[in-house]
């Protein structure tokens, strides 16, 4: 029995008082002090972990103004605040030990659009890709590009002056931020934007806080203009914290305080709204993937490529390419970056040309291709090949792979992981190759491996040394290497923070800027935040305060993770290896990644949030003395006794009365997980939440009773075959409203499906081959067996949707094969989902033994439901390794692809069009499946169009649980319902039983399985 985790870090009494008063004055946003929420925001995409006191989620600018006004009261002037957006920073910019103000959950509205003047006005929580998705139909986009664009917020981009691919042409966020609305900690609203010198002189003559801010910035930047221009490097990616250089325009006729806000990392004010410059989408885009024999060759060739006047030149080394090849993303780009025969591909440069003038772009593109041909002919510059992309869809696929590079590095095998702390240095591009040579020598000196990628056109290269931060000696290297890299960047006329801001690297600012300019930053901080209450410890401190800045080797996640034994980390590897890249925050409703995060907008219910909670839960268990074997085993050390049951009853009763146990917060987070498995492939680190969720549930329920519905779900494969013996009898009762009422009240289940009638067994009576016994097959020769196909049943399709299996039997017969429906063998998927791991291991072992014996017949074994078939490949391997993996159950399309050449090739005068709505597990775990289905439909004389959708909201039995009903429906409406309304419903198909069940429940439609459509085409 796991122990009770009785306490969580307390919230200061003054903070509690502040929060209570904030609520009483009408703050309409969310207020969170629970340990789970605080933990979920204690990390970002950096190596650091800082636990906040509380988290505020304002709904609008008025809420932000309210919290600031209250904070300005004398009694609360020791409380500090840190604004937060998408939490994608690599240097701890949005981490602190105070109150976090998260602007991403609610403040995500697009407020106004003016195409004539070329601007859009948004709230700070709008995601970059969300904005561009909105602008695309108008032919415009917000141009600063970055790898985290599907979860980075505009407020965060402004705070870090974000930029990325294409910045030599498109610039940084500050170049496109026309105006901001910010809330000062006094509660006053400051509107920034370009102003004439006359306007500014009028403002500074007034006697208020805003006038004092204008006066301070204006006077300092004007009086020190020569020093600022002299000291600031002429680099595209030069970040200062407060942009003293661009406050004035070149001829000193305009002044713009916006430039002080961009890059300020939340140390001056809360950015609540922004007016952004937007530009027309390029009409023409060409891309070239250039391949090299060494990464050094790729770097040295960069300056030559920059002269080609391309939009961007991106580089990726062989380590990142190798990791990409192991990821789901490679499926989409492997035909665009093929290996060169007889050559070892060690790096690529991605060169893009884009613009409005097709003739100009075509000429630049053609000229570079001709130059590359000459280099290939003469075997020069290390170029070993190149490929071109001229279709927008293919270009986007290449960049999707490049964007995922950050996360992919975290999937490096072993305890040493490439981590960010010196990974966005910037030097003049002409010095990049020499600089990197010295950088590599420095890392080699410490015997460190590393991955590299970046923007070579602007001299920025992302270098991530691999360290084990649980090792105290390796943690020391963070400071040692940082110090030496600062010296190295200085030598080459660059700087440490070229792209990702300062954050906890701010302590290097004084030596970089020099005393006079650094005091200028402090003077500006004093004007905005004289008491150092906004994101303290970053950028600088006010002049009258000597509080130190955070050190670069401040508390890292490794400080806590080192306390978890290695064997436990291996068992719960999904939770312990999460590197915080945040891809699970993807806003796109058509992405399968983490439906519970999408529907709640709560980071606690994301894979990253769940991983953080489980890591802390494991650490606390170890601290309480629970041994490794107890945590790791799926088999209990002893059978449950009556005494143990009585204890669980007592524990559960006290829990209902409100007795605290941190385990309850972890359980709450897990309850919202749909076990869709998208995280296990979509996440670059392969964070498999359903795996560690199942392990957690098993341990949790050694202390607390399970709800009845868990037993109802976990034993579904026991009672379904029994119910199928009298389907009409059971269906009669299932249709009664009293049954639904009792089901809701007793087990918390609703909308339970009916047993198929006629049953599968009844439908198969007329099909002799389908009822053949295994003994008969064993008597056949190997050649005779090649005519047969074995259908492996799953509980949901066989007993709730039997017509699909029956139609598969008919399809197999039509194709000239002999189908045999195997006796039903329990799979155990439902047991795994509910954390009955002891039972699951036994079920899996039994199924594996049976299927292994059948596999010896060398006859294909095929199933129709993706979630159940993929369970044999995934959960069986992870939870029941003792179940021999010497059998293979294929999905129907996999088997059909194997016999594709034997299938009839049908030609039709007019192609019938069908639409495939992807099942989330199949789409994630078998990314090639939609293309394979397309090939099959083409063979049958029809056209299949894949439709990108997110989760349908059913996910096995999740949607039938009463507690999840509302969210299940909202998830369905979010993506699936919209897709079905766009296409002819009778032509829409899906492979998943859960998906068909959800459509039937909410839209009263019967969707076909693609197999049924193929059968129809044959008929």
pLDDT tier at 323, thresholds 50, 70, 90: confident
Contact status, residue 163 vs residue 146, Cβ threshold 8 Å? yes
Instruction: Say how far apart CA 90 and CA 328 lie, in whole Å.
Output: 24
State both tokens at 70. 């209250």
pLDDT attached to residue 154: 97
pLDDT attached to residue 342: 87
Helix (H, G, I), strand (E, B) or coil at 834: coil
pLDDT at 238 > cutoff 80: no
* Weakest-pLDDT range from 216-225, 427-436, 984-993: 427-436
The packing angle between helices 607-623 and 689-700, to 10°, is 40
pLDDT attached to residue 214: 97
- Evaluated on CA atoms 814, 819, 824, 830, the torsion sign reads negative
Tens digits of residue pLDDT in 399-453: 888 887 777 777 788 889 989 999 889 888 888 888 988 999 999 999 998 888 8
What are the backbone dihedrals phi and psi of residue 1013, each rounded to the nearest 5 degrees, phi first?
-65, -40
Phi-psi domain of 178 (left: phi exceeds 0; alpha: psi -120 through 50; beta: other): alpha
DSSP 721-749: HHHTTSHHHHHHHHTSHHHHHHHHHHT-B
The closest alpha carbon to 473, from 450, 503, 496, 447, belongs to 447
Lookup result for tokens 């579904």: 716
Tens digits of residue pLDDT in 781-800: 989 999 999 999 999 999 99
User: Across the strands, what pairs with 312?
Assistant: 352
pLDDT attached to residue 433: 83
CB under 8 Å to 207, separation ≥6 — which residues?
none
Burial of 142 (0-12, 13-18, 19+ CB in 10 A): buried
pLDDT tier at 974, thresholds 50, 70, 90: very high
Average pLDDT on 502-509 reads 93
Helix (H, G, I), strand (E, B) or coil at 944: strand
pLDDT tier at 237, thresholds 50, 70, 90: low
Contact status, residue 465 vs residue 443, Cβ threshold 8 Å? yes
Q: What's the count of helices (H) and strands (E) in the chain, helices before strands?
A: 51, 27
* Weakest-pLDDT range from 255-259, 269-273, 720-724, 873-877: 873-877
pLDDT attached to residue 401: 87
Cis (ω within 30 of 0) for the bond into 758?
Answer: yes
pLDDT attached to residue 19: 98
Write a three-state SS string for 88-113: CCCCCCCCCCCEEEECCCCCCCEEEE
DSSP 665-694: HHHHHHHT-----THHHHSTT---HHHHHH
* Weakest-pLDDT range from 162-171, 211-220, 598-607: 162-171
pLDDT attached to residue 438: 93
Exposure pattern of 731-766 as b/e (b: 16+ CB <10 Å)?
A: eeebeeeeeeeebeeebbbbbebebbeebbbebbee
pLDDT tier at 880, thresholds 50, 70, 90: low
Average pLDDT on 115-141 reads 97
Tens digits of residue pLDDT in 602-653: 999 999 999 999 999 999 999 999 999 999 988 776 666 888 899 999 999 9
pLDDT attached to residue 633: 87
Percent of the chain clearing pLDDT 90 (strictly above): 75
Tens digits of residue pLDDT in 529-560: 999 999 999 999 999 998 999 999 988 999 99
Lookup result for tokens 């006359």: 198
Instruction: Say how far apart CA 835 and CA 845 lie, in whole Å.
Output: 16
pLDDT at 883 > cutoff 80: no
pLDDT attached to residue 147: 85
The closest alpha carbon to 50, from 6, 84, 2, belongs to 84
- Evaluated on CA atoms 229, 231, 234, 238, the torsion sign reads negative
Instruction: Say how far apart CA 140 and CA 158 lie, in whole Å.
Output: 20
pTM of the model: 0.93
pLDDT attached to residue 638: 62
Write a three-state SS string for 8-54: CCCCCHHHHHHHHHHHHCCCCCEEECCHHHHHHCCCCCCCECCCCCE
Average pLDDT on 1005-1018 reads 95
Tens digits of residue pLDDT in 344-365: 899 999 999 999 999 999 999 9
Helix (H, G, I), strand (E, B) or coil at 815: coil
What are the backbone dihedrals phi and psi of residue 416, each rounded to the nearest 5 degrees, phi first?
-90, 120
Contact status, residue 870 vs residue 922, Cβ threshold 8 Å? yes
User: Across the strands, what pairs with 946?
Assistant: 916
pLDDT tier at 884, thresholds 50, 70, 90: low
pLDDT at 805 > cutoff 70: yes
pLDDT at 145 > cutoff 90: no
Instruction: Say how far apart CA 665 and CA 677 lie, in whole Å.
Output: 22
Contact status, residue 932 vs residue 894, Cβ threshold 8 Å? yes
Tens digits of residue pLDDT in 667-694: 999 999 999 888 988 888 889 999 999 9
Average pLDDT, the chain: 92
The closest alpha carbon to 571, from 678, 694, 466, 670, belongs to 694
pLDDT attached to residue 885: 67
Instruction: Say how far apart CA 976 and CA 964 lie, in whole Å.
Output: 17
Kind and range of the H or E run holding 970:
helix 965-971
Contact status, residue 685 vs residue 573, Cβ threshold 8 Å? no
CB under 8 Å to 893, separation ≥6 — which residues?
929, 932, 933, 936, 991, 1010
Exposure pattern of 8-42 as b/e (b: 16+ CB <10 Å)?
A: beebeeebeebbeebeeeebebbbbbbbbbbbbbb
State both tokens at 925. 């775990």
pLDDT attached to residue 460: 86
Number of other CB atoms surrounding residue 176 within 10 Å: 22
DSSP 144-171: ---TTTTT-BHHHHHHHT---TTHHHH-
Task: Report how far Cα 422 is from the mean position of its chain's Cα atoms.
Answer: 23
pLDDT attached to residue 641: 81
Write a three-state SS string for 371-383: HHHHHHHHCCCCE
Could you tell me whether strands 912-917 and 460-467 are parallel, antiparallel, or unpaired per DSSP bridges?
Answer: unpaired
Contact status, residue 204 vs residue 170, Cβ threshold 8 Å? no
DSSP 604-645: GGSHHHHHHHHHHHHHHHHHTT--HHHHH-SS-SS---HHHH
pLDDT at 882 > cutoff 60: no
């Amino acid at each position: 029995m796991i122990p009770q985790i009785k306490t969580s870090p307390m919230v200061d009494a003054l903070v509690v008082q502040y929060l209570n008063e904030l609520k009483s004055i009408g703050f309409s946003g969310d207020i969170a002090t629970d340990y789970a929420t605080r933990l979920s925001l204690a990390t970002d995409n950096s190596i650091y972990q800082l636990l906040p006191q509380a988290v505020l989620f304002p709904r609008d600018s008025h809420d932000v103004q309210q919290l600031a006004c209250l904070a300005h009261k004398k009694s609360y002037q020791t409380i500090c605040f840190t604004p937060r957006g998408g939490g994608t920073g690599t240097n701890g910019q949005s981490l602190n030990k105070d109150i976090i103000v998260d602007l991403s959950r609610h403040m995500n509205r697009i407020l106004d659009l003016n195409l004539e003047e070329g601007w859009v006005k948004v709230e700070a929580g709008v995601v970059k890709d969300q904005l561009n998705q909105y602008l695309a139909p108008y032919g415009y986009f917000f141009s600063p590009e970055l790898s985290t664009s599907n979860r980075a917020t505009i407020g965060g981009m402004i705070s870090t002056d974000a930029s990325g691919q294409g910045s030599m042409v498109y610039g940084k966020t500050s170049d496109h931020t026309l105006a901001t609305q910010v809330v000062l900690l006094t509660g006053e609203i400051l509107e920034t934007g370009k102003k004439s010198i006359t306007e500014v002189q009028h403002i500074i003559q007034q006697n208020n806080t805003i006038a004092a801010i204008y006066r301070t910035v204006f006077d300092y930047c004007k009086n020190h203009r020569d020093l600022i221009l002299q000291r600031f490097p002429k680099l595209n990616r030069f970040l200062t914290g407060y942009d003293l250089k661009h406050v004035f325009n070149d001829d000193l006729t305009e002044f713009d305080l916006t430039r002080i806000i961009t890059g300020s990392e939340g140390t001056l004010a809360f950015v609540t709204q922004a007016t952004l410059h937007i530009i027309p989408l390029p009409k023409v885009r060409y891309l070239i993937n250039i391949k090299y024999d060494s990464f050094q060759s790729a770097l040295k060739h960069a300056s030559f490529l920059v002269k080609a006047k391309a939009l961007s030149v991106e580089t990726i080394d062989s380590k990142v390419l190798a990791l990409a090849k192991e990821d789901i993303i490679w499926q989409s780009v492997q035909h665009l970056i093929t290996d060169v025969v007889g050559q070892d591909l060690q790096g690529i440069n991605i060169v893009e040309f884009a613009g409005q003038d097709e003739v100009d772009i075509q000429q630049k593109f053609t000229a570079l291709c001709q130059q590359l041909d000459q280099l290939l002919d003469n075997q020069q510059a290390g170029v070993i090949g190149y490929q071109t992309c001229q279709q927008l869809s293919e270009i986007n696929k290449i960049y999707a792979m490049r964007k995922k590079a950050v996360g992919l590095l975290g999937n490096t095998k072993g305890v040493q992981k490439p981590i960010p702390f010196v990974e966005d240095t910037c030097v003049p591009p002409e010095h990049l190759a020499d600089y990197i040579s010295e950088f590599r020598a420095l890392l080699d000196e410490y015997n460190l491996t590393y991955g590299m990628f970046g923007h070579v056109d602007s001299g920025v290269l992302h270098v991530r040394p691999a360290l084990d931060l649980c090792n105290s000696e390796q943690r020391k290297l963070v400071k040692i290497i940082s110090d030496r890299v600062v010296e190295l960047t200085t030598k080459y006329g660059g700087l440490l923070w070229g792209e990702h801001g300062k954050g906890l690297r701010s302590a290097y600012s004084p030596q970089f800027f020099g005393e006079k300019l650094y005091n200028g930053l402090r003077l500006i901080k004093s004007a905005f935040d004289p008491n150092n209450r906004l994101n303290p410890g970053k950028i600088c401190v006010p002049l009258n305060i000597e509080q130190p800045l955070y050190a670069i080797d401040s508390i890292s996640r490794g400080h806590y993770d080192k306390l978890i034994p290695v064997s436990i980390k291996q068992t719960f590897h999904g939770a312990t290896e999460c590197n915080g890249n945040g891809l699970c925050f993807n806003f796109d409703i058509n992405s399968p990644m983490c439906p519970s995060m999408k529907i709640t907008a709560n980071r606690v219910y994301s894979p990253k949030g769940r991983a953080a909670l489980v890591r802390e839960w494991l650490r606390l268990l170890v601290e309480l003395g629970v041994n490794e074997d107890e945590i790791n085993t799926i088999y209990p050390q002893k059978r449950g006794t009556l005494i143990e049951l009585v204890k669980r009853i007592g524990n559960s009763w006290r829990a209902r009365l409100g007795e605290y146990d941190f385990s309850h917060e972890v359980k709450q987070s897990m309850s919202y997980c749909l076990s869709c498995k998208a995280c296990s492939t979509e996440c670059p680190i392969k964070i498999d939440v359903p795996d560690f969720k199942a392990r957690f549930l098993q341990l949790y329920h050694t202390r607390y009773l399970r709800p009845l519905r868990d037993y109802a779900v976990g034993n579904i494969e026991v009672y379904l075959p029994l119910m199928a013996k009298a389907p009409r009898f059971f269906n009669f009762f299932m249709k009664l409203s009293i049954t639904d009422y009792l089901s809701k009240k007793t087990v918390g289940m609703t909308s339970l499906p009916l047993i198929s009638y006629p049953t599968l067994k009844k439908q198969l009576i007329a099909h002799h081959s389908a009822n053949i016994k295994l003994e008969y097959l064993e008597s056949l020769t190997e050649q005779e067996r090649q005519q047969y196909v074995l259908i492996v049943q799953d509980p949901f399709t066989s007993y709730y949707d039997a017509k699909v299996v029956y139609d598969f039997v008919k399809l197999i017969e039509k194709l000239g094969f002999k189908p045999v429906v195997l006796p039903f063998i329990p799979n155990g998927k439902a047991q795994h989902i509910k954390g009955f791991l002891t039972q699951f291991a036994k079920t899996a072992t039994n199924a594996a033994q049976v299927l292994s014996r059948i596999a010896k017949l060398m006859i294909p074994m095929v199933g129709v439901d993706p979630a159940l078939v993929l369970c044999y490949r995934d959960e069986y391997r992870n939870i029941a390794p003792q179940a021999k993996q010497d059998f293979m159950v294929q999905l129907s399309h996999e088997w059909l692809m194997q016999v594709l050449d034997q299938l009839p090739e049908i030609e039709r005068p007019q192609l019938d069009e069908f639409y495939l709505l992807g099942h989330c597990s199949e789409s994630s775990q078998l990314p090639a499946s939609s293309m394979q289905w397309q090939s099959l439909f083409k063979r049958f004389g029809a056209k299949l169009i894949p439709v990108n959708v997110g989760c349908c909201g059913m996910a096995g039995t999740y949607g039938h649980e009463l507690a999840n009903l509302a969210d299940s429906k909202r998830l369905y409406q979010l993506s699936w319902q919209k897709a079905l309304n766009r296409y002819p419903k009778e032509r829409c198909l899906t492979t998943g039983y859960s998906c068909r069940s959800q459509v039937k429940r909410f839209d009263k439609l019967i969707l076909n399985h693609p197999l049924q459509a193929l059968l129809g085409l044959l008929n």
